[in-house]
Amino acid sequence: MIVTPRSALRGMTLPHVQVVSRSLGRGWEESVKACWDYGVRIPTQYDKVGDPYSRDIALSLTILDPFAQPRLHRDLPGGFEDLEIYRREVLDGVHDHWVDPESGKWQYTYHERLFAFSCPGLDEPVNQIEYVIDALTEAPHTRRAQATTWKPWEDAGIDDPACLQSFWFRIFGDRLVMRCRIRSNDAYKAALMNIYAFTELQKLVAERVSERLGRLIRVGQYDHIADSFHIYGSYFEEFTKRFLGNLKKKTVAERTYRTDDPDVIQWMTDASKMIDAKLEHERATGR
C-alpha cells in the first residue's frame, strides 16, 4: 500500500514516497513501482554516454511483519546463492578478510563496520551490535541503541563509500523495531537483498535480547529510510521488460516467493551447500 497521495508529490524537487506493506516481497515490489512512477529524472556518477537519466525518490518503507509471506520476490537479482552469500557477509563476516584497500581490494564490509568498528585513537575495535544488545537488555525502551557505519576520515572522497548509514533499535512491548537509514539504494538490483539481510540481523538481535531478558522478543516492524532510492537508466530496458512486464502478466503468487515453500527451501539449502564449498576452497587456497 502506497500511502503518499499522488497529488502531494506534485512539484516536489525530490518526491518523498511512503510505502506500508505487511511483507518484504510485496513492500519491495510496491517501492520499486513507486520509484518508477514518481521518480524525478536525474543523472548519476555512474552513467555512461547515452544512458537515460535515473529515476529517484526519497523512500520511507515500513514492513509491518518482516518474516511474513511472501518474504522474497522472483525478480531477485542474481539468485539464491547470491542472496545467501550476501546474508553471510552481513551477519557472519565471511568476507571481512577481503577488506584491504591498500591492495586494491574491498574498502569495507557492513559486518566489519557493525561488529568491529575501528577508529583512530581506539585500542580495540567496537562491536556495535553487542553494544545494541547490551543497551536493549538494560533498558528495552532506550532510544540509544544504534549502530553506524560512516567513517568521515575514510569514506569522504573514496570511490565506493558505504551506502548503509545506521541502524536504530527499540523494543515496544514484546516487539523489536529496527529502522535503517541508507543514503543510496539501487531499488531494483540491490534493495531486496539489502532488506532481506538487514531483517535477518534484526532477527539475530531479537533472539540475543530474548536470551538475555529471559522472555520472548519478537521481530517487529522494519523501517527502510532511503535518501536516494533509484532505478538506473542503464538497465531501463531490462527493467521494463521483466519487472513491469511481470506486473501486467502475472499474479502476486507468480511474482513472489514464499520462503516456507518446499521448493524454495530446497533451493536455499542447495545454495548454502555450494557456498560452504566455495568458502572452504577460499580457506584452503587463499583465493
pLDDT, tens digit (0-9, with 9 covering 90-100), for 244-259? 999 999 999 999 999 9
Name the 3-class secondary structure at 226: strand
Of 169, 145, 182, 148, nearest to 219 by C-alpha is: 169
Of 25, 23, 21, 24, nearest to 73 by C-alpha is: 25
φ/ψ of residue 106, rounded to 5 = -60, 145
Q: What is the pLDDT of residue 157?
A: 81
What is the third-level CATH fold of 6-74+126-257? Thymidylate Synthase; Chain A (3.30.572)
Residue 286 in this model has a pLDDT that exceeds 80: no
- Average pLDDT over the chain reads 95
C-alpha cell of 244?
A: 513491469
Q: Which residue has the cell 572452504?
A: 280
The string of pLDDT tens digits covering residues 172-196 is 999 999 999 999 999 999 999 999 9
Residue 217 in this model has a pLDDT that exceeds 90: yes
C-alpha cell of 171?
A: 523494543
Name the burial class of residue 141, with classes exposed (0-12), middle (13-18) and buried (19+) by CB atoms within 10 angstroms of its CB: exposed
The contacts found for 142-145 with CB under 8 angstroms, 24 or more apart, are: 142/170, 143/170, 145/169, 145/170
Name the 3-class secondary structure at 155: helix
Contact in structure between 180 and 163 (CB atoms under 8 Å): no
The string of pLDDT tens digits covering residues 14-32 is 999 999 999 999 999 999 9
Q: Which amino acid is at 7?
A: S
Q: Which amino acid is at 97?
A: H
Range with the lowest mean pLDDT among 7-11, 187-191, 276-280? 7-11
Q: Which amino acid is at 258?
A: R
Name the 3-class secondary structure at 180: strand
Cα distance between residue 213 and residue 225, in whole Å = 29
C-alpha cell of 173?
A: 512491548
Cα distance between residue 78 and residue 234, in whole Å = 17
pTM of the model: 0.95
Cα distance between residue 219 and residue 196, in whole Å = 13
